[in-house]
Amino acid sequence: MGRTEKDKRKKPRPIMYAAHIDASIYSYYSCQIQQHYELII
């Protein structure tokens, strides 16, 4: 039981981690773009 539970937990982790990185990069760039446009206006 213990081993199967660990395997199930391990599998989705990299996908979730990658999605989290993508989200953080997207939010960072969107903030940069917003600041850039605010400076122009």
Q: Say whether pLDDT at 34 is over 60.
A: yes
Dist CA 28 CA 40 (whole Å): 19
pLDDT at 39: 79
Show the domain range for 14. 2-40
**What domain count does the chain have?**
1
Q: Helix, strand or coil for residue 13?
A: helix
**Helix, strand, coil percentages, rounded to 5, for the chain:** 95, 0, 5
Amino acid at 13: R
pTM above 0.85, yes or no: no
Please give the residue that has the higher pLDDT: either 22 or 12. Answer: 22
Tokens of 8: 């199930």
